[in-house]
């Protein structure tokens, strides 16, 4: 039986809103997949820290592009760009209910190993750590916040 994507390509934290996710030493990057229905818009803030307790937490102003769509499979992703910043603001439009932003491990400051994305509204945030540095069976994956 071949190994599926979980443990080979990705690990995931479905309830990652405001949760520190280990990046350096664990994966090449993280894809944050966010959703807030109702066409109300949201603001998401990206931060980095030295450990999962939030030591040295600071905004990580590296976001220059993100993608949006309705999130229900009825439309394609729309690429959006902005000046480098630590926040992404989605508009109050159904076509921006879903938002994806990616962070490369090389974007973190020296000695920083953790990232988190926090919704200021009621948006959900799923963190998909990708390009795992060590492949394991899902039951043997380390906790993403450890």
Which range is least confidently modeled, 58-62, 86-90, 98-102, 135-139?
Answer: 135-139
Q: Which two tokens stand for residue 14?
A: 């479905």
- Mean per-residue pLDDT for 49-68? 98
Q: What is the pLDDT of residue 2?
A: 61
Question: Mean pLDDT for the chain?
Answer: 94
* Closest-CA residue to 11 (of 113, 133, 101): 133
Question: Is pLDDT above 70 for 140?
Answer: yes
The pLDDT of residue 3: 75
pLDDT in tens, 70-104: 999 999 999 999 999 999 999 999 999 999 999 99
Q: What is the pLDDT of residue 99?
A: 98
| % of the chain exceeding 90 in pLDDT | 84
Share of the chain above pLDDT 70, in %: 99
- Sort 80 into a burial class: Cβ within 10 Å, 0-12 / 13-18 / 19+: middle
pLDDT at 63: 98
Q: How far apart are CA 118 and CA 20, in angstroms?
A: 10
Give yes or no for a contact between 44 and 118, defined as CB atoms under 8 angstroms apart. yes
């Amino acid at each position: 039986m071949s190994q599926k994507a979980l443990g080979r390509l990705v690990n995931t934290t479905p309830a990652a809103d405001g949760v520190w996710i280990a990046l350096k030493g664990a994966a090449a990057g993280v894809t944050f997949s966010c959703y807030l229905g109702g066409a109300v818009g949201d603001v998401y803030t990206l931060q980095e820290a030295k450990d999962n307790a939030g030591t040295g937490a600071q905004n990580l102003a590296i976001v220059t592009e993100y993608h949006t769509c309705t999130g229900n499979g009825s439309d394609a992703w729309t690429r959006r760009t902005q000046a480098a910043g630590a926040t992404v603001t989605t508009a109050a439009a159904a076509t921006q209910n879903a938002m994806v932003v990616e962070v490369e491990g090389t974007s973190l400051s020296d000695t920083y190993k953790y990232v988190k994305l926090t919704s200021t509204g009621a948006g959900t945030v799923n963190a998909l750590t990708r390009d795992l540095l060590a492949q394991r069976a899902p039951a043997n994956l380390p906790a993403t916040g450890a």
